Amino acid sequence: MRLDEQPFVGSVAARAVHGHSAGGSVAFLGTDEPSADLRESLDPFGLSLAGPWGPARPDWLASLASLAEGDDAAPLVLVAADLTISPVALLDLLDRPGDPTAAVTVELPALRTQGTDLTLLRVHPEQKLVHSVGTTHHTVTAPTHLGLGVVRLSGAHRARAAQLWRAASSTPAAADPTVDPFDLALLVLVRGGMPVGSSPLGPFAFRRGSDEAPGARGSAWQQRLRGASRGGDGYFSTRVIRPMSRRVTAVGLRQNWTPNAVTVTSLGVGLVASGLAAVDNRWAWVAAAVLLQVAIVIDCVDGEIARFTRRFSALGAWLDAVGDRIKEYSLIAAVAVVAERRGTDLWVLAILAMVLITARHLEDYAYVHRSRVARAHETPDLLPVDAPRDLGPEGARLAIPPARRGLAEAVFWTKKVLHLPIAERYLLLSVGLLTFHPQWLLWAITLAVAFALVWTQGGRTVKAVLGLDDHRADDTLSAEHWGHLDHQADLGPVARLAGRILPAPLAVALLGVVVLLGAAVVAWRTQQPWVAVALVAVGVLLIGAGAHPPLQSPLAWQLPTFLWAAESVLVIGLLVATPGVERWTGFAYLAAVAWHRYDVVYRLRDTGSPASAWVALVTLGVDGRMLLLVLVWAVGGPVQAVLAWGALALIAVYAVESALGWRAWARTEAGPVTSGEEVLA
């Protein structure tokens, strides 16, 4: 099999092999000689061929160890000798930036037949590492994937692999002719503690022994295009948006579009849609509804081009995510502008919609990160090679569960829709535009996101309270070494000082949030400014005392969302309580704060680096901003001017610091960071 299998997708540059595994070695493991097709499939990657090794050679595992010892500057690739697959299917493992140690894994529904020649694996859902491997004599509990028959070892891991294989070469399993050599070689690595990642196989055709998968329709390049669509999308994206975006992606690959250029184009189309929505004309709104869907189709293209060509960047992921929020929030603002022209002030409702969408994302990221931390301590099943069973509990499932069908599939997609991912939100916005009623659109998006937030956060809270989500504190954190939640809290000097002087449990901080919400109600309903000031002061001190780093409580993941909500509700309360104030200034002010909160999340997610510590000092933090606003209002100061000029000042500081932070990271880091792209859609 060759890379020139037609019909092609994309240009020569889009299909190019970049040589990320060149200079390495490949060992064929099996009882037979590898086929000419398999050898041909590995030719494009610049690997020197060796083998086969297997039970026919009593010293095969020791010989494999000697091969691994030969060169620690280039990768070693293990391939099952009975595998048949296109080289296009191996690009994601053998020609991906970086130097990964990983195995190609397959989901069971991809198979046409269900023989016994693929390797049973258990892959950790958060770590994406292989935790257990099965052979004909080694049982895997709760298997999740199948091993295709390809493993890539980084040069740095070759010496350790050689030690493990040499130690295992004298075990009975190494001389057992009924144990598949590839399965055993991988099992030795995993049981020896080698971190072997999972590299999911796309919808490609392959055959290994009696196991066969037809793959998606078309050539290997067409299958690659199909696999470039991100997994885990919502129902509308999977069924409607992605089939359209792949057609655009095929054009972009032929024209050598870059992912970042596509992202900027999507942002531009979205802003044009918002501009049309700001025109109080039915046909302009119809055009805006259509363009919003065009924007999200294009928005999918950048990621598909990146995955097809294996050109990734954390900055591109940040630009993509920030662009999504700009399109969404600018459209909401445009609709509020039209409502105001018609004589109805809907800015509070528009603010509420923006606040809920942001809260939904903040909560989601914080919880996903919490789950990863809780399971980070879990390790592969470290066992002797001859142990017949892994460390799973007695009575555990021993077969991969069947694919979802019927009611189970309907429940799965229903839950996806209830989470209200981006495609469903954009669809709701487009339908709302077609009604030509600003109130209907804003109420629809607000209520839908509110329900999604209650649905997800409510369920997670119940699990956390009942101890059903395996929460585990991060032992690496301290008052000096902050975790993600500490950075997301965005506390300023007042709250930080309170936390150092009077540290208290997280419940005190949550009480502080309630007090702040009460301050907003007092400002709105009673017009008693100094009572509101006192409540804000007390609330800020309580938050500082209870939110001192490190945030480790089982409910701590909710604090960034609650703090964002408290600040937003206080702004809303002051807008309502101040006669004659232009309420769009509150929207602008909170949009600037939302920018920073998203930026912090994206930087922590994609680079592991937080915003600079001086930002919370210069911008006063969430506590200082609330104190300043309520004091200005209490003394009869210019609330509108403070909000308007404050928005400009905040976005200037945040944007400059963000640009400097991303630039500094790009200079010091090598290779892409692509984790977490399923979050915050």
Q: For every residue of 328-357, which 3-state class applies, written as one string?
A: HHHHHHHHHHHHHHCCCCCHHHHHHHHHHH
Is the pLDDT confidence value at 672 over 90?
no
User: What confidence tier does 377 reach under pLDDT thresholds 50, 70, 90?
Assistant: confident
Give me the phi and psi of 255, to 5 degrees please.
-95, 5
**Mutual angle of helices 314-341 and 259-277, in 10-degree steps:** 10
Q: Which of 34, 17, 30, 22 is nearest to 71 (CA)?
A: 22
Q: Which of 465, 476, 467, 466 is nearest to 377 (CA)?
A: 476
pLDDT for res 680: 47
SS3 breakdown of the chain: % helix, strand, coil, rounded to 5? 60, 10, 35
Say if CB 147 and CB 134 are below 8 A apart: no
Question: What pLDDT is attached to residue 312?
Answer: 82
Q: Are 94 and 152 in contact (CB under 8 A)?
A: yes
> 631-653, pLDDT tens digit by residue?
999 999 999 999 999 999 999 99
Q: At what angle do helices 559-577 and 584-606 cross, to 10 degrees?
A: 170
How far is residue 617 from each of residues 26, 51, 566, 660, measured CA to CA in Å? 55, 62, 19, 17
Residue type, 142: A
* CA–CA distance, 83 with 38 (Å, rounded to integer): 7
3-state secondary structure at position 268: helix
Cα separation, 381 vs 439, whole angstroms: 56
Q: Give the mean model confidence (pLDDT) for residues 431-446.
A: 98
As given in the structure block, the two tokens for residue 501 are 């002087």
pLDDT at 676 over 70: no
Residue indicated by tokens 């002087």: 501
Task: Indicate the pLDDT class of residue 608, thresholds 50, 70 and 90.
Answer: confident
Instruction: Specify the pairing of strand 211-213 against strand 206-208.
Output: antiparallel
Residue 80: pLDDT band (50, 70, 90) is very high
pLDDT value, residue 321? 77
Which tokens is 495 given? Answer: 């709250």
For the four alpha carbons of 599, 200, 370 and 455, in that order, the dihedral sign comes to: positive
Higher-confidence residue of 56 and 376: namely 376
Q: What's the pLDDT score for residue 110?
A: 59
Instruction: Please say if the pLDDT value at position 326 is more than 50.
Output: yes
Q: Is 200 helix (H, G, I), strand (E, B) or coil?
A: strand
Q: What is the pLDDT of residues 198-213, one digit of tens each?
A: 999 999 999 998 888 8
Report the predicted TM-score, pTM, of the whole model to 2 decimal places. 0.93
% pLDDT > 90, the chain: 78
> Predicted confidence band at 670 (pLDDT cuts at 50, 70, 90)?
very low
Select from 362, 280, 274, 366 the least CA-distant residue to 321.
362
> How does pLDDT run across 476-492, given as a tens digit for each residue?
888 889 999 999 999 99
Q: What is the pLDDT of residue 677?
A: 41
Q: Which CATH class is domain 482-663?
A: mainly alpha
Quickly state the pLDDT bin for 671 (edges 50, 70, 90).
Answer: very low
Residue 652 tokens, joined: 């200037």
* pLDDT value at 624 more than 70: yes
pLDDT of residue 236: 96
- pLDDT band for position 375 (50/70/90)? confident
Band of residue 526 on the pLDDT scale cut at 50, 70, 90: confident
Q: What pLDDT, on the 0 to 100 scale, is given for residue 315?
A: 72
Q: Which fold has domain 12-223?
A: Spore Coat Polysaccharide Biosynthesis Protein SpsA; Chain A (3.90.550)
Eight-class DSSP state of 404: P
Residue 112 in this model has a pLDDT that exceeds 60:
no
Average pLDDT over residues 32-55: 86
The pLDDT of 217-238, averaged and rounded, is 93
- The number of angstroms, rounded, from the C-alpha of 244 to the middle of its chain's C-alpha atoms is 23
Chain Cα centroid distance, residue 476: 23
Residue 673: pLDDT band (50, 70, 90) is very low
Q: For residue 469, what pLDDT band results from cuts at 50, 70 and 90?
A: confident
Arithmetic mean of pLDDT over the chain: 92
**Model confidence pLDDT, tens digit, residues 547-601:** 999 999 999 999 999 999 999 999 999 999 999 999 999 999 999 999 999 999 9
pLDDT of res. 111 = 62
Domain ranges of the chain: 12-223, 482-663
**Cβ atoms of residues 210 and 113 within 8 Å:** yes
Comparing CA positions, the residue from 349, 355, 354, 359 lying closest to residue 576 is: 349
